[in-house]
Amino acid sequence: MAREHITAVANDGVDGDDELDEEEDAEEEEDASSDEEEPRLKYQRMGGSVPSLLSGDSASCLTVAERIIALGTHEGTVYLLDYQGNEVKRFAAHSATVNELSFDVEGEFIGSCSDDGSVVINSLYTDEKEKFEYGRPMKAVALDPDYSRKSSKQFAAGGLAGQLLFNSKGWFGFSDQVLHSGEGPVHAVKWRTSVIAWANDTGVKLYDTATHQRITFIERPKDSPRAELLRPHLIWQDDALLVIGWANCVKVAAVRTGDGRQGSAAGNVLGLGWKGSAGSGNKYVDIVAIINTDYFISGLAPYSDDALVVLAYIPETETAAQVEATAVVADAAGTSPPATIAPAKQGHAQRPEVRIVTWKNEELATDALSIHGYEHYKAKDYVLGHTPYTGSCNSEGQWPPGDEPLYYVVSPKDVVIARPRDAEDHISWLLNHGKHEKALAAVEAGQARPELMEEVGSRYLDHLLLERQYAQAASLCPKLLRGSAAAWERWVFHFAHLRQLPVLAPYIPTSDPQLRDTVYEVVLNALLTNYAYHEQLLTTIRTWPSNLYSHSTIITAIQLQLGTSSKSDALKAALAELYRMDGDYSKALALYVELQRPDVFELIEEHNLQADIHDKVTAACLSICVVREKDPNAGREFHDMQVELYADFEPRLLLPFLRSSQHLNLDKAYEICKKRGLTRERVFLLGRMGNTKEALSLIIHKLQDMEEAIKFIAAQHDEELWEELINQSLRHPEMVGALLEHTVGNIDPLLLLSKVPSGLPIPRLRDRLVKIITDYRTETSLRRGCNEILKADCVDLLVRYYDEARHAIRVGGGENGLKPQSDGQNGAISPAPVMNFVNAGNQRGTKTGRISSTVSGSGLCCICLDPVALQNVAVVAFFCSHAYHVTCLNDTSGIRSQGSDLNKKEVQKDLAFRIGQGLSTASLYDHPDDDEEEGESGSPPMRCILCTTASAKNKEAINDRKKVSNQATSNGWAA
């Protein structure tokens, strides 16, 4: 059987709660197999006060009561410790090595003996103390189990004097009675009920204090070393079983009551020297087991009803192979090992071993302890203490909680605690040896706390993933992870790292527990990015509840995937399902039609999508025929539909469309924008609907754009909005600061500052106040400069106007193709008379946008279209180059008739044939300014008919545009 090699590092000051490292020897690693047996004990060095106590002293003995531990040292001090090693109390009882310690059954008194020749008995809870001096080193002491309850205060002790002393308290004080002497030093004494067992150089004897008779004598093993080298060990397992360990032999003696002849026969067979007396009621002893070993015994303790814990000291004569091999089973008749076995030399000792041995000499476990300094220790330097034995373990090798035995391996500088491995240790061992199924079965059987299921499951899954058994690992996740959301999420991301999420996807829970939406999105993304898993993606989307993940996130991911080469009908079908879950039935319908799915009509009927089909066809036509049209009024019956299309597919074009369209249902458009979170569009629509305060609130609270808010208010021309802006901004110090940066030209900064509550923290207030003053100075300087430039421009324009007004105006002549008139009498051509021009006033034709006549400067009257150079007809020429006969201007009916004739004549012949060949001299009338009233003489002011008419039409067009603009402004904010 393989041996466990346990390392117990004995560095001073290390916390005793640290687990001892477990290492296997090189040969064990090579020969390890599935037949390796599980260890029975686990080891831990005692912490608390022990490391500091043993740093300056050395342990010599230890005994354990039900609630406390007593530790004796070579300096003569007795320490009382709790089970964790913390010092509770100490007694400076002796001046030399403490050889033995003994508790009474109640744990109220502690007896100690020492090489200083004294026995000291101390009360643990009072100051009571008794000290007995014997003059020779005392090696063993045992208190009466009922010491605290009896007034006799009895104890037994012995030492190098060779006497077993029985001390009791009587009327005259304490007195000693010699129970036995003359057979060498007394090395060990143990007292149970009424029976005292002691060991001397010849063997072990038992004495009944109730009957004051000796019971038996068990001789010392033959060829065993002297007791000074290998001291004997006596352990009462219960009231009737005494375990004797001496050198390399263990005997289990059963103390019985009854006919002594049976005991006599047993004694003869086993070679006992002294037997119990015959007769009813006498005690006798049967040797029920003998164990011969190939090692020396440094300590004994009960493990179960038929097994022992043995602290083994390996003699030097054994080879390394013998140490590693299983202990040789000795002959049942008492055959002893070779007599050549001897203690190891100083500095060459081997590690002590803890072995679990049955009464049939079958070894259940062997652990070698690497205790600090073990090379220098002898067999007698070790002590094995144990808690009071309470009974055996169950069939699985487990003790009830709190009843498991504890074993204390004591060396001069170390105290190592050994305890049976519990269910969790068993499961851990199974996991470490790859027996994951058995570990899982043990947890499911309730052998460990339920919380251990997660650890076992994690280790099992790690093992399966390491072996690349992904499908099996995924199938076990529901059983192993159960309702732990954190564990599920951790393993989902682990599978994602290994690119195995499609294997795990069918097992991921959707409730109890429900995981974070991010986890489900990661799984769906893993499915959609691989063409091979698109069908599984579609199935997963159909089976998972729609509230587990963000539809928009997966829709966006699928849309991106559809833009690559990795796309399929299953992926489109998954996108259609997501649209349907998201309530976007129109897009789902489009994909249903594209995929030619047979249930498309069910979708149409279920969600009343008949009109939606027509709308989509119409929208497709509009996208080609109407959207690109320059005429904004074209297709106005579809403008509401265009709002929805722009909002869904081209949000950046929606705001320009809203500004240009006058055929919208504003309420419907607003609901569309609100549903899609289009804030700027909502602001514009609220402005058009006249809800300017709500629009301003959106700008301030949603957009948080002060510059946009100021532009909006400036476009509304509503002074109340400035107040509203200030009031709403006061709720946000950042907005107040931003408002201060835009006060110049918009808001009186003094008004704003007067409304700011005292103590309101405004970020960068100082810098913003400095900016206000700087901007104000800059604005004042700019205005002053603009005024100076305006004055200079006015003077310059007046000078230019005056110079232009003084120039003559050509209304006809040779350059325009005018021919001289022929004299009717002699056929001579008379020269054209010279005309004197009077400035008729600047009509500001070029400044007002008047349209120049096509006959301007042609030498024709603009009314009758006859040459102006007629005899005896006065001519009026305006600065705009238009010329009229005075009679035509004065005769309004003539103007109308000439106007009609003009239309006819323009149709009939070209104006070139009507150009006169000369100009008549005529006096011109002064033309007052357009805006002047009639003069004092009552004569009407002269005006250029063409320019006046064109100006009137131009003004009419301007007024029309102003009306439209004012109407739009009254309906909302026009950007």
pLDDT, tens digit, 9 for 90 and up, residues 480-501: 888 888 889 999 999 999 999 9
pLDDT of residue 794: 92
Give all strands of the β-sheet with 138-143 in edge-to-edge order: 138-143, 155-159, 163-170, 173-181
How distant, in Å, are the alpha carbons of 190, 202, 214, 222, 571 from that of 199?
A: 9, 8, 14, 15, 89
Q: Is the pLDDT of residue 188 over 90?
A: yes
pLDDT of residue 831: 37
pLDDT band at 922 (very low <50, low <70, confident <90, very high): very low
pLDDT of residue 596: 74
Q: What is the largest CA-CA distance in the chain?
A: 199
**CA 304 to chain CA centroid, nearest Å:** 50
pLDDT digits (tens, 9 = 90+) for 73-97: 999 999 999 988 999 999 998 999 9
pLDDT band at 224 (very low <50, low <70, confident <90, very high): confident
pLDDT of residue 968: 55
Better pLDDT: 671 or 889: 671
- Give the range among 303-307, 328-332, 566-570, 865-869 with minimum mean pLDDT: 328-332
Q: How far is 525 from 879, CA to CA, in rounded Å?
A: 81
Give me the amino acid identity at 604.
I
Residue 572's beta-bridge partner residues? Answer: none
pLDDT band at 975 (very low <50, low <70, confident <90, very high): very low
pLDDT of residue 611: 65
pLDDT of residue 601: 67
pLDDT of residue 800: 87
Exposure of 958 in the CB half-sphere (CA atoms within 13 A): 9
Q: How far is 390 from 237, CA to CA, in rounded Å?
A: 9
Better pLDDT: 204 or 831: 204
Better pLDDT: 843 or 477: 477
pLDDT of residue 942: 65
pLDDT band at 395 (very low <50, low <70, confident <90, very high): low
Backbone angles phi, psi at 679, to 5 degrees: -75, -45
* Average pLDDT of the segment spanning 819-826: 40
pLDDT of residue 12: 39
* Average pLDDT of the segment spanning 338-355: 68
What percentage of the chain exceeds 70 in pLDDT? 72
How many CB atoms are closer than 10 A to CB 15? 9
Q: What are the strands, taking DSSP E only, across 526-628?
A: none
* Average pLDDT of the segment spanning 642-670: 79
Give the tokens for residue 516: 């974070």
pLDDT of residue 610: 59
Q: Is the entire prediction scored with pTM above 0.75?
A: no
pLDDT of residue 207: 94
pLDDT of residue 612: 65
pLDDT of residue 66: 86
pLDDT of residue 252: 94
**Which of 7-11, 20-24, 684-688: highest mean pLDDT?**
684-688
pLDDT band at 830 (very low <50, low <70, confident <90, very high): very low
Better pLDDT: 54 or 641: 54
pLDDT of residue 897: 40
3-state secondary structure 260-285: HHHHHHHHHHHCCCECCCCCCCEEEE
pLDDT digits (tens, 9 = 90+) for 451-473: 777 788 888 888 889 989 999 99
* Average pLDDT value for the chain: 76
Q: Is the pLDDT of residue 324 over 50?
A: no
Residue-wise burial string across 68-101, b where 16 or more C-beta atoms lie within 10 A, e elsewhere = bbbbbbbebbbbbbeeebeeeeebebbeebbbbb
What percentage of the chain exceeds 90 in pLDDT? 31
pLDDT band at 204 (very low <50, low <70, confident <90, very high): very high
pLDDT band at 418 (very low <50, low <70, confident <90, very high): very high
Better pLDDT: 64 or 338: 64
pLDDT of residue 57: 92
pLDDT band at 14 (very low <50, low <70, confident <90, very high): very low
pLDDT of residue 635: 55
- Give the range among 400-414, 600-614, 715-729, 788-802 with minimum mean pLDDT: 600-614
Q: How far is 869 from 876, CA to CA, in rounded Å?
A: 11
Q: How far is 448 from 427, CA to CA, in rounded Å?
A: 8
pLDDT band at 16 (very low <50, low <70, confident <90, very high): very low
**Which of 478-482, 704-708, 730-734: highest mean pLDDT?**
478-482
Q: Is the pLDDT of residue 311 over 90?
A: yes
Better pLDDT: 141 or 687: 141
Residue 256's beta-bridge partner residues? Answer: 284
Nearest to 20 by CA among 49, 41, 48: 41
**Which of 1-10, 335-344, 416-425, 637-646: highest mean pLDDT?**
416-425
Q: What are the strands, taking DSSP E only, across 160-220?
A: 163-170, 173-181, 188-192, 195-199, 203-208, 213-219
Q: Kindly give, in sequence order, each residue whose CB lies less than 8 Å from that of residue 392, ignoring residues fewer than 6 positions away.
A: 304, 305
pLDDT of residue 456: 83
pLDDT of residue 839: 39
